[in-house]
């Protein structure tokens, strides 16, 4: 028949074999549905060896609606259906269209209706509602028109498939993005990437993802360099390679391909493989290798381009999260676990201790004199020392968790037998190498048994730190073991500190001054009084001065507390004057922090002016031990006070280690013999005791330096007599009067009159 424009004739021939393929190239599947076998033969004859849009045709055949449904359920990838309108009945073809579109959900396949009875044309609504590609009478389908109709249908099918694939791919990208972004660990994210890419391409996962090694919080040094490429995730036959370096992969082609993608920073597409590049702004770029088996279509490449944008953003987020995670749980300098991670390690150990009877210890290790090392050598050398200490501690057995919990404090957690204090201190017996210089340092330990340290990681660190602080005060270069009494004492100190601060914030609520008279040993007349602070808490308990004053000195409250005493003492002096009581002198104790403070002297001057007090009536008492701590500073500060007309007394004299040269340089008016020496003065037969000799020496020294001498703690007539015989100028003590509140002191003065 004419190859160009002859009508189709029904040709007798053998029935074609369903599923027959032509050539190796992927073929278009054409389904012929007609109850007349001659139509099948004629269609095959007309289209034999025909290629459309560069691909051969593969025919499938069905002779009824039932056969068509069964075939489409097993082979849904049919491109075009040539469908007879009238088969078993007049509506068979149209009913089959409804089934294909609605029940089977095959919306991509193109349907060309054919009928040999033009009177049975489908309604326009059917064509519109069921997406029928074309409608022809069998007499119209010459070979040329059949080829044209199929070409149009196949082109439409290909476009729809591309759009559908893109839509499904984009939908998968959107849905997978949420899943991938939820995976905040690189390993889990990488596994998700492989799975999602394979699903996007309709392939089995067969490939791997490489990324640069991540930093981690660990005792041990990293097994591979940070810039080494690691197989983070793998699927299929590559699964055993997870966590291995890329260069360990026994396939030079894959290694070279991945490195080329990373070096050229672009995707690599081959006939049976794909390598995708994922940039990461944090420097940990990644690449994916996939076995595709075939070259990817342009549509697949486009989808991958879109997908890779999401992956790159996801990798950036994972990188940021990993960095946050690292800095949240690791020390950036030493890469050891930080305080947060160490607390978690203790919590884990506490949960396990019910099943593990092994004794465990918590140790805090403080490098002695580290601040001085920083000041002398610089922070860079200080960091090198910290790294050296971290490396030496990392040599402990793997059962021991090592962390850096603050500047120069490291923490250890592990079996008590491995953390015996003596063995831990021995780690510092050998010098550390700082550059070319060996440097020997010591450390101080606080040690606590895990079972006694507390019920949580935070409590365990707190209690171990109490032991460390005790060791730093009492045994530098040694250790102190924690006990529950320390915690109770620390808690009480904290409460005292809080209450004392509250008292100062409320204008000295609960604080008061008591006054102890000072008398002349010549005629017993009143020469002055010493202002002594007292504190009664809101619960009625009285706190001894030595307890809360030392607490104030350690906590920095000594400045406001000392200022309160100065203000109240001068205010009291003014009130007594207004009552007609003229006290020659008011002695006030001051501390070294007060003397050092630049605002102390201006504050004192303002108080003197405000209360209109002659400076010569105020005597500042400073203890000998405090004055000798910083002699030059004390001398300069006391000289400024002396120049203002104030008197200066050296308290507790004889208990310190002042030399005559230092004593001579201080601008003093009075020496005060410590009560410990006065207590040794008793009956006349004991006047040759050591106390008597020291008291006599102090009196003679004072008079030699033109200083008045006053003795404190005088309690008996015998002590008074002895001091009079030694030539002591003044005295104070229980023999004359205890420290008294204002009203009692006024009564005492009135009684002496």
Q: Note the pLDDT tens digit of each residue in 398-429.
A: 889 999 998 899 999 999 889 999 999 999 98
Domain CATH number, residue 113: 3.40.50.2300
Q: How high is the pLDDT of residue 221? A: 40
pLDDT grade for 516, boundaries at 50, 70 and 90 = very high
Whether 383 and 353 map to the same domain: the answer is yes
Pick the residue with more confidence: 572 or 14? Answer: 572
Tell me the torsion sign for CA atoms 19, 20, 24, 29.
negative
Is the pLDDT at 605 greater than 90? The verdict is: yes
Q: How far is Cα of residue 111 from the mean position of the Cα atoms in its chain?
A: 63
Counted domains in the chain: 4
Residue 733 has a pLDDT of 94
pLDDT band at 294 (very low <50, low <70, confident <90, very high): confident
On whether residue 489 sits in a domain, the answer given is no
- Interval 220-242 mean pLDDT: 68
Range scoring the smallest mean pLDDT among 148-152, 228-232, 544-548: 228-232
Which secondary-structure segment (H or E) carries 665?
helix 660-665
Domain span at residue 109? Answer: 28-164
Tell me how far CA of residue 93 lies from CA of 37, 399, 719, in angstroms. Answer: 16, 77, 133
CATH of the domain at 654: 3.20.20.450
Instruction: Report whether 616 contacts 647 (CB < 8 A).
Output: yes
> How much is the average pLDDT of 267-295?
79
626 and 550 within one domain: yes
Residue 169 lies in a domain: no
Query: What confidence score (pLDDT) does residue 231 get?
Result: 84
Which of 108, 130, 164 is a domain's end point?
A: 164
Residue 19 pLDDT level (bands cut at 50, 70, 90): very low
Is it the case that residue 223 has pLDDT exceeding 50?
no
Flag whether pLDDT at 731 surpasses 90: yes
Question: Which H/E stretch holds residue 443?
Answer: strand 443-449
Residue 686 has a CB neighbour count (10 Å cut-off) of 13
Q: What is the pLDDT of residue 342?
A: 92
**Do 577 and 696 reside in the same domain of the chain?**
yes
Residue 36 lies inside a defined structural domain of this protein: yes
- Point out the least confidently predicted range of 58-72, 151-165, 335-349, 699-713: 151-165
pLDDT band at 49 (very low <50, low <70, confident <90, very high): confident
Is the pLDDT confidence value at 709 over 90? yes
> Is residue 343 located within the same domain as residue 284?
no
Q: Are 209 and 157 part of one and the same domain?
A: no
DSSP 378-435: -HHHHHHHHHHHHHHHTTS-TTSEEEEEETTEEEEEEETTTT-HHHHHHTTSSPEEET
Q: What is the pLDDT of residue 13?
A: 35
Same domain, 681 and 608: yes
Hey, is 449 helix, strand or coil? strand
Cα 568 to the center of its chain, rounded Å:
48
Other CB atoms within 10 A of residue 441 CB: 18
In the chain, % of residues over pLDDT 70:
82
Q: How confident is the model at residue 116 (pLDDT cuts 50, 70, 90)?
A: low
Q: Give the C-alpha separation, 616 to 585, whole Å.
A: 8
Please indicate, yes or no, whether residues 353 and 324 belong to a single structural domain of this protein: no
- 684 pLDDT more than 60: no
pLDDT score at 188 = 59
The band of 616, judged by pLDDT with boundaries at 50, 70 and 90, is very high
Query: Contact 59/48 with Cβ under 8 angstroms?
Result: no
> Do 240 and 345 belong to one domain?
no
Strand partners, 57: 28
pLDDT of residue 7: 40
Please check whether residues 586 and 608 belong to one and the same domain.
yes
Task: Provide the pLDDT for residue 229.
Answer: 86
Measured distance CA(23)–CA(56) in Å, rounded: 7
Q: 739 lies in a domain?
A: yes
At 507, the pLDDT band (50, 70, 90 cuts) reads confident
Question: Residue 55 phi/psi, 5° resolution?
Answer: -135, 150
> What is the layout of strands, in order, in the sheet containing 207-212?
229-235, 207-212, 286-291, 273-278, 268-269
**Distance (Å, whole) CA 479 – CA 421:** 7
Question: How many angstroms separate the CA atoms of 207 and 185, rounded?
Answer: 19
Specify the DSSP class assigned to residue 308: H
Rounded distance between C-alpha atoms, residue 159 and residue 233, angstroms = 35
The sheet with strand 134-137 has its strands ordered as 51-52, 55-62, 28-33, 80-84, 110-115, 134-137
Residue 498 lies in a domain: no
What is the total residue count of the chain?
A: 753
For the residues 348-363, what does the mean pLDDT come to?
Answer: 78
Domain with residue 213: its CATH number is 3.30.450.40
pLDDT at 21: 38
pLDDT for res 614:
94
The single residue listed with the structure tokens 């160009």 is 4
Q: Residue 416: which CATH number?
A: 3.30.70.270
Residue 81 carries which DSSP code? E
Four-residue CA torsion sign, 121, 125, 128, 130: negative
170 in a structural domain: no
- pLDDT of 641 > 70? The answer is yes
| Contacts with 67 (C-beta within 8 Å, 6 or more apart), sequence order | none
Q: To the nearest whole number, what is the mean pLDDT of the chain? A: 81
- Residues 621, 634: Cα–Cα separation, whole Å: 12
Closest CA to 647 of 701, 590, 715: 590
Is the pLDDT at 179 greater than 90, yes or no? no
More confident residue, 131 or 464: 464
CA distance 742 to 528: 14
What does the pLDDT average to over 367-371? 88
> Which of 419, 452, 482 is the endpoint of a domain?
482
Distance in Å from the first CA to the final CA of the chain: 154
Instruction: Specify the range with the lowest mean pLDDT, choosing from 337-341, 548-552, 628-632, 734-738.
Output: 628-632
Q: What is the pLDDT of residue 378?
A: 83
Mean pLDDT of 302-307: 73
What average pLDDT does this structure show over 532-557? 88
Same domain, 226 and 127: no
Residue 741 has pLDDT above 70, yes or no: yes
Q: Which of 273, 307, 329 is the last residue of a domain?
A: 329
Q: What band does 144 get if pLDDT is binned at 50, 70 and 90?
A: confident
Is residue 464 situated within a structural domain?
yes
If you average pLDDT over residues 510-529, what whole number do you get? 94
Task: Give residue-wise pLDDT tens across range 461-471.
Answer: 988 998 898 88
Res 104: pLDDT: 87
At 18 the pLDDT is 34
CA distance 418 to 652: 48
pLDDT tier for residue 225 given thresholds of 50, 70 and 90: very low
Task: Give the separation between CA 122 and CA 413, rounded to whole angstroms.
Answer: 84
Closest-CA residue to 606 (of 575, 647, 654, 563): 563
pLDDT of amino acid 14 = 36
pLDDT for the residue 227 = 54
Is the confidence at residue 39, as pLDDT, over 70? yes
Highest mean predicted confidence (pLDDT) among 291-305, 465-479, 525-539: 525-539
Confidence band, pLDDT 50/70/90 cuts, at residue 129: low
Let me know if residue 709 belongs to a domain. yes
- Look up the pTM and report it: 0.54
Same domain, 646 and 516: yes
| Percent of the chain residues topping a pLDDT of 90 | 26
Confidence of residue 5 (pLDDT cuts 50, 70, 90): very low
Q: How many CB atoms lie within 10 A of CB 155?
A: 13
Which of 59-68, 157-166, 172-181, 275-284 ranks highest by mean pLDDT? 59-68
Q: What is the dihedral of CA 625, 626, 628, 630, to 10 degrees?
A: 160
Q: CB within 8 A of 596, min separation 6: which ones?
A: 633, 637
258 with 297, same domain: the answer is: yes
């Amino acid at each position: 028949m004419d190859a160009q424009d002859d009508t189709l004739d029904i040709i007798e021939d053998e029935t074609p074999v369903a599923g027959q393929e032509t050539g190796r190239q992927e073929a278009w599947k054409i389904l012929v549905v007609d109850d007349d076998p001659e139509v099948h033969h004629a269609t095959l004859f007309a289209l034999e060896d025909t290629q459309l849009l560069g691909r051969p045709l593969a025919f499938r055949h069905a002779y009824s609606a039932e056969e068509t449904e069964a075939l489409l359920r097993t082979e849904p990838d049919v491109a075009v259906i040539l469908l007879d309108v009238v088969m078993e009945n007049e509506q068979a073809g149209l009913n089959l269209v409804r089934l294909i579109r609605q029940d089977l959900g095959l919306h991509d396949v193109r349907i060309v209706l054919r009928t040999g009875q033009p009177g049975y044309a489908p309604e326009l609504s059917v064509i519109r509602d069921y997406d029928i590609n074309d409608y022809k009478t069998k007499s119209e389908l010459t070979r040329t028109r059949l080829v044209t109709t199929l070409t149009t249908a196949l082109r439409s099918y290909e476009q729809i498939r591309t759009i559908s694939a893109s839509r499904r791919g984009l939908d998968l990208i959107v849905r997978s993005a949420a899943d991938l972004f939820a995976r905040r660990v690189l390993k889990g994210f990488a596994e998700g990437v492989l799975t999602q890419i394979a699903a996007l391409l309709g392939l089995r996962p067969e490939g791997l993802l490489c990324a640069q090694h991540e930093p981690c919080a660990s005792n041990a040094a990293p097994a591979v360099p940070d810039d080494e490429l690691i197989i983070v995730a793998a699927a299929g036959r590559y699964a055993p390679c997870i966590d291995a370096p890329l260069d360990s992969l026994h396939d030079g082609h894959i290694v070279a391909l991945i490195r080329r993608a990373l070096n050229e920073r672009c995707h690599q597409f081959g006939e049976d493989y794909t390598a995708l590049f994922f940039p990461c702004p944090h420097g940990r770029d990644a690449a994916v290798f996939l076995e595709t088996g075939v070259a990817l279509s342009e549509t697949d490449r486009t989808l991958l381009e879109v997908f890779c944008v999401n992956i790159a953003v996801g990798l950036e987020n994972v990188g940021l999260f990993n960095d946050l995670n690292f800095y949240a749980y690791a020390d950036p300098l030493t890469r050891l676990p930080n305080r947060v991670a160490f607390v978690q390690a203790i919590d884990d150990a506490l949960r396990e201790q019910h099943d593990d009877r092994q004794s465990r210890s918590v140790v805090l290790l403080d490098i002695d004199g580290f601040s001085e090392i920083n000041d002398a050598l610089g922070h860079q050398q200080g960091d090198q020392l910290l790294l050296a200490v971290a490396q030496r501690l990392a040599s402990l057995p793997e059962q021991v968790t090592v962390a850096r919990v603050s500047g120069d404090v490291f923490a250890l957690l592990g079996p008590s037998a491995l953390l015996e204090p003596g063995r831990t201190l021995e780690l510092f017996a050998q010098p550390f190498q700082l550059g070319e210089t060996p440097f020997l340092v010591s450390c101080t330990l606080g040690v606590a048994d895990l079972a006694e340290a507390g019920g949580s990681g935070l409590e365990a660190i707190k209690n171990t730190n109490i032991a460390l602080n005790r060791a730093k005060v009492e045994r530098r270069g040694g250790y102190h073991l924690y006990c529950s009494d320390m915690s109770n004492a620390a808690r009480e100190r904290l409460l005292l500190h809080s209450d004392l601060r509250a008292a100062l914030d409320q204008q000295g609520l609960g604080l008061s001054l008591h006054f102890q008279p000072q008398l002349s040993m010549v005629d017993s007349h009143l020469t002055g009084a010493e202002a002594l602070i007292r504190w009664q808490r809101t619960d009625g308990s009285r706190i001894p001065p030595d307890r809360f004053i030392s607490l104030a000195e350690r906590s920095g409250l000594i400045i406001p507390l000392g200022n309160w005493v100065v203000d109240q003492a001068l205010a009291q002096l003014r009130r007594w004057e207004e009552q007609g009581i003229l006290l020659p002198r008011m002695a006030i104790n001051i501390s070294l922090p007060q003397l050092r403070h630049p605002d102390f002297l201006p504050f004192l001057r303002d108080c003197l002016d405000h209360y209109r007090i002659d400076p010569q009536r105020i005597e500042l008492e400073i203890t000998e031990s405090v004055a000798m701590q910083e002699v030059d500073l004390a001398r300069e500060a006391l000289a400024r006070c002396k120049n203002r007309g104030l008197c200066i007394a050296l308290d507790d004299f004889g208990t310190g280690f002042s030399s005559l040269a230092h004593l001579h340089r201080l601008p003093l008016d009075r020496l005060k013999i410590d009560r410990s020496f006065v207590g040794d003065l008793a009956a006349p037969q004991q006047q040759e005791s050591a106390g008597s000799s020291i008291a006599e020496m102090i009196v003679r020294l004072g008079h030699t330096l033109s200083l008045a001498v006053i003795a404190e703690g005088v309690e008996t007539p015998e002590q008074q007599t002895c001091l009079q015989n030694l030539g002591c100028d003044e005295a104070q003590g229980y023999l004359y009067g205890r420290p008294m509140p204002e009203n009692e002191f006024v009564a005492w003065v009135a009684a002496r009159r």
